[in-house]
Chain A
Amino acid sequence: MKYKISHTTKYSYTESVPVCHNQVHLCPRDGVQQKCEEHRLLIHPMPAVRGRRLDYFGNTIDFFSIQEAHHGLTVTATSRVNVMPRPKQKLKESPAWSELATRIKTVREPRFLDAYQHTFPSPNIPQVPALADYAKTSFPKGRPVLEGVMDLTSRIHADFTYDPKATTMYTPIEEAFRQRHGVCQDFAHIQICCLRSMGLAARYVSGYLRTVSPEGQPRLVGADASHAWISVFCGESGWIDFDPTNDVMPDTDHITVAWGRDYSDVCPIQGVFVGGGHHGMSVGVDVQPVA
């Protein structure tokens, strides 16, 4: 499946901003299941400095600085991405979760070592005993890991209410868990916390979701937003994605941009500026399937 994606973020300031420094995670990752065929980043006003590098997790970071006084900033990322169908996972045939957890802790091969760091608490995902208790139900002794993760995914989907008003970006996961309300970011953080409490390696995936429009109606441009889900390390099978917001295993409807330990590692746009007074922002995402 091929997509044309455009993601526009606009900032406006009440007072002039003489200088700002920014870095963005907006370029979709290349991988076995996904190829980013084209990516452009348009920035207005024109940055004096810009560059690109890979971060610790292999995501592309574009950084730029604007050094002339400005009252607004617009960042538009357009990408063409080809998403291949993922191999079907036989959940029952995956390794037992506890054996996998032991191997993650002890095997020193690079991919296991890389996975191991995703078992530790991260800035937005501390250890939460209540979540560890919640997770245990899905992982009885000897259960195949993917079966357990799928079960947990479904439970979160069933137990939690999607509610953008209930939480904000700064709501701690304990609080979202207590309310059983939240959005995809909360669900992803909660599931990651659950999995880490079992000694499993889980990471946060940020990207886009193609929303399927109702029959006979044109797609609503800009209605789609950036999305987040999780990925769990399954030993030799690598990383397998789960989407607790939609209770699915992602396939060609999910376009991956970046991954990290949690949201803080892959924040789409970060910036620091001086002056400016108050500022407002708006975001528009458009994910268009193309032939």
Chain B
Amino acid sequence: MANTTLENDALKIDNEKGNFKYPESYSFDAGVGLTADTVEYISKVKEEDEWIRDFRLKALKVFQDKPMPTHWASKDLETIDFDKIRYYLSKGQKPSRTWDEVPDDVKETFERLGIPEQERKFLAGVEAQFDSEASYSRMKEDLEKEGVIFVGSTEGLMKYPEIFRPYFGKVIPTADNKFSALNSAVFSGGSFIYVPKGVKLKQPLQAYFRINAENFGQFERTLIIADEGSEITYMEGCTAPKFETATLHSAVVELVALKGAKIQYITVQNWSNNVFNLVTKRGLAEEDAEVRWIDCNIGSRLTMKYPGVVLKGEGARGEVLSIALANDGQHQDTGAKMIHLADKTTSNIISKSISIGKGRSTYRGQVHMPKHLKNCKNNTECDALLINTNSRTDTYPAITTRGENNTVQHEASVSKVSAEQIFYMMQRGLSEGQAMSLAVNGFVNDLMRQFPMEYSVELKRLIDMEMEGSVG
């Protein structure tokens, strides 16, 4: 990225910022390549029960049998060499409990991300993941008192099988797609969260992910269950160091919102520009429940991510708000899925994308309303902003509607920053870069305002980092 040249000097972006790399010292390493042995090794190291091992092995078979989805997706997927990827890597450390125990280099990452110490302390629990294992996990005592469970994936399945097993792999079945199968075979890390009935978490739970080993794919697995009437906000953000060869990130995130529960899941994705980010995210909303995905994709080489909500109970609500920024060499293939399965369900999708240089952003969406449903509503808005003459954007929604009194509306528009706007601002003394930055901020501003404060601050910082060089 550092060597790429943009047509417009005003838009040159310093991509070295946010590139971190630290020495590696891994005590557990499954080697490269993926076979049944790799899977058994992972399961053995993690001391898992037999059923989990069987689940992994079955998933491996599905992964190997499924073809690459290149009949509709980018051919770039074919460049992934599954034999050169490390599928498991652990520091061999138990999740640490206090801030002091967190390795300094991880702290440094937080520092560069610009999360102030004060804010960090304020946030309820911080689950920072260093490669496969949670390197730091902490929950405030009052959260524990309320019965909230916040653990890693293996721990969750081993210690609380009665809570997590019934939903594990149910929202996103192993065979959902090739990459959900891959994750099911080699998952490690991630968060398993249970919020008991009626508990409303005031502060968001947070986890930062980082990749820090060459050729190492991160396969975290997250399952959040919000019991009846409970509320939770979960924040996930990631930065990754820059490597020469591509790395693979393939997560599976399942959300279950039981009757009247609310889950808000927030992601800042800022992997380095050689990461394939192929993630499956889906939420299940029971009666009157609400699942909201806030998704922001700034990094990675290719991101394919379509957060979905299955609206299973009457009156359920689903929402996806997303911002994607594609720079040179990047393809942000993102979107949303809304599957309506009950009457009076409503869903809302708002997607904004910005393509810079030769960047390409794609919106893929699915809205499904089967027959015999009544009074369902969907609203979809996709806006794309193209900065340079060779930027590219695509929109591919798929909408199926049946039933009575259902309303679906989809709107998409493509525009550029208008020359008049830039001229107007420059004429009042702003530089071209400043004007451009303001215009881009204005484009995403109305969506950003809907995000939680700490998220929008960080997001603005990341977008500014991408647009850097255009200012001044």
* Chain B binds chain A: no
